[in-house]
């Protein structure tokens, strides 16, 4: 089967959406399918076309940016060409260009599946509000043209104004989660580099430095944790410098973070490779996902942490609370409530052994091959209905 996967950003860009698409693409390729990614050449240093892990990646040139989006004049031409070559089309939203690709899938009678990862909420401002509305309208149009819509969880789907409009097309497929193994030496080397003083406990966070990720809530909750654990430390993995649209937020929190950096209680790690992430998690006592809104619909990092035996504290948001509910490995905290977040962190830190679960059970729930097989079944189902 020739699979065309379309999304705005792909490797080396790092986000939950791109990681999901990469894992899905690789799993489908490993199952014998010909997989092509159509995405943006958001960085001119990237090649226009290349092979990555058995997947063909085609990048459309970017003429200019609008907020966090990109304008690609040749995208339509490439979409037609690659859609004609494909047997099935997989679209990943939010994405401005998805409606046009979904329409091509309809016109060409190609099974077209839309995966809805999260809502789009740009930073405040009149222009960004206009962009938000345009993208929302294009997303709704894409859903009308698509044959099926995939959501990570029923919980998020039930609470999503977008997905509830198209419940008759909905299919829930758990996301693919996998990581390489760093091994004891890799874990020890990571600890020596990033926690040489052996401070405990270690609270981890893995996300872009953005307002909706709830970094400020964690900072507000941290003093309450320090009252019980004066040597506690936060390791922050993910992009934290020059995050598009988040400069004002970073400046607002910078003085407090600098204070914690000076005392050794906060460390930015930057963007880590998958192998580095697999060494990061075992060095944590708890991972926190304090997200504030529906731009977060699950939090793949929770499952990655759980696969390494690390419990999580997650916001009580639709979808985001599901990894803890499904596995029992952690606690759920009230959204945007620093005291509630601190209480949940302390509960986990003081009773960590109570949250242990067998790794094999977690891995079986989110195996990439299972996700790929579910997509195969869905494409086959649509094909039979069209025949």
Q: Which pLDDT tens digit goes with each residue over 264-300?
A: 999 999 999 999 999 999 999 999 999 999 888 999 9
pLDDT digits (tens, 9 = 90+) for 215-240: 999 999 999 999 999 999 999 999 99
What stretch(es) of the chain map to CATH 3.40.50.2000?
Answer: 2-176+367-386, 183-365
pLDDT band at 128 (very low <50, low <70, confident <90, very high): low
Exposed, middle or buried, 158 (CB in 10 Å: 0-12/13-18/19+)?
Answer: middle
Q: Are 219 and 336 in contact (CB under 8 A)?
A: no
Homologous superfamily assigned to 2-176+367-386: Glycogen Phosphorylase B; (3.40.50.2000)
Q: Which tens digits make up the pLDDT trace of 92-112?
A: 998 889 999 999 999 999 999
Q: What is the pLDDT of residue 66?
A: 74
pLDDT tens digits, 136-146: 788 889 999 99
Residue with tokens 């509000």: 129
What confidence tier does 67 reach under pLDDT thresholds 50, 70, 90? low
pTM: 0.89
User: In which band, very low, low, confident or very high, does the pLDDT at 172 lie, cut at 50, 70 and 90?
Assistant: very high
The CA distance from 8 to 109, in Å, is 23
Question: 319-338, pLDDT tens digit by residue?
Answer: 999 999 999 999 999 999 99
Of 276, 61, 98, 284, the C-alpha closest to 190 is: 276
What confidence category does residue 247 fall into, taking pLDDT thresholds of 50, 70 and 90? confident
Q: How far apart are CA 199 and CA 233, in angstroms?
A: 7
CATH of segment(s) 183-365: 3.40.50.2000
pLDDT band at 50 (very low <50, low <70, confident <90, very high): very high
- Is pLDDT at 119 greater than 80 in this prediction? no
Token look-up 């996301």 returns: 175
Instruction: Give the model's confidence band at 307: pLDDT under 50 very low, under 70 low, under 90 confident, else very high.
Output: very high
């Amino acid at each position: 089967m020739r699979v065309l996967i379309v999304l705005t950003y792909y490797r080396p860009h790092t986000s939950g959406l791109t990681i999901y698409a990469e894992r899905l693409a690789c799993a489908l390729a490993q199952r014998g399918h010909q997989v092509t990614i159509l995405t943006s050449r958001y960085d001119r240093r990237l090649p226009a076309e290349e092979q990555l892990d058995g997947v063909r990646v085609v990048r459309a040139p970017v003429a200019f940016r609008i907020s966090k989006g990109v304008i690609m004049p040749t995208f339509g031409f490439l979409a037609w060409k690659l859609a004609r070559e494909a047997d099935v089309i997989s679209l990943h939203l939010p994405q401005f260009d998805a409606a046009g690709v979904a329409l091509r899938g309809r016109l060409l009678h190609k099974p077209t599946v839309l995966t809805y990862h999260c809502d789009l909420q740009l930073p405040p401002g009149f222009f960004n509000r206009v962009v938000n509305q345009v993208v929302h309208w294009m997303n709704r149009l894409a859903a009308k043209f698509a044959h099926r819509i995939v959501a990570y969880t029923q919980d998020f789907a039930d609470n999503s104004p977008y997905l509830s409009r198209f419940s008759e097309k909905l299919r829930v497929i758990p996301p693919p989660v996998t990581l390489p193994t760093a091994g004891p030496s890799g874990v020890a080397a990571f600890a020596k580099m990033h926690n040489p003083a052996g401070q405990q406990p270690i609270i981890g966070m893995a996300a872009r430095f953005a307002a909706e990720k709830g970094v400020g809530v964690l900072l507000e909750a941290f003093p309450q944790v320090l009252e019980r654990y004066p040597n506690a430390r936060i390791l922050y993995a993910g992009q934290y410098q020059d995050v598009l649209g988040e400069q004002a937020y970073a400046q607002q929190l910078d003085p407090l973070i600098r204070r914690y950096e000076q005392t050794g209680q906060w460390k930015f790690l930057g963007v880590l490779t998958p192998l580095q992430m697999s060494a990061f998690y075992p060095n944590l006592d708890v991972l926190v996902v304090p997200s504030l809104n529906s731009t977060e619909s699950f939090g793949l990092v929770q499952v990655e942490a759980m696969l390494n035996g690390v419990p999580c504290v997650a916001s009580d948001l639709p979808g985001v609370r599901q990894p803890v509910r499904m596995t029992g490995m952690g606690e759920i905290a009230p959204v945007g409530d620093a005291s509630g977040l601190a209480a949940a962190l302390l509960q986990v830190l003081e009773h960590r052994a109570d949250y242990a679960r067998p790794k094999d059970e977690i891995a079986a729930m989110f195996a990439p091959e299972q996700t790929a097989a579910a997509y195969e079944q869905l494409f086959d189902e649509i094909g039979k209905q069209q025949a």
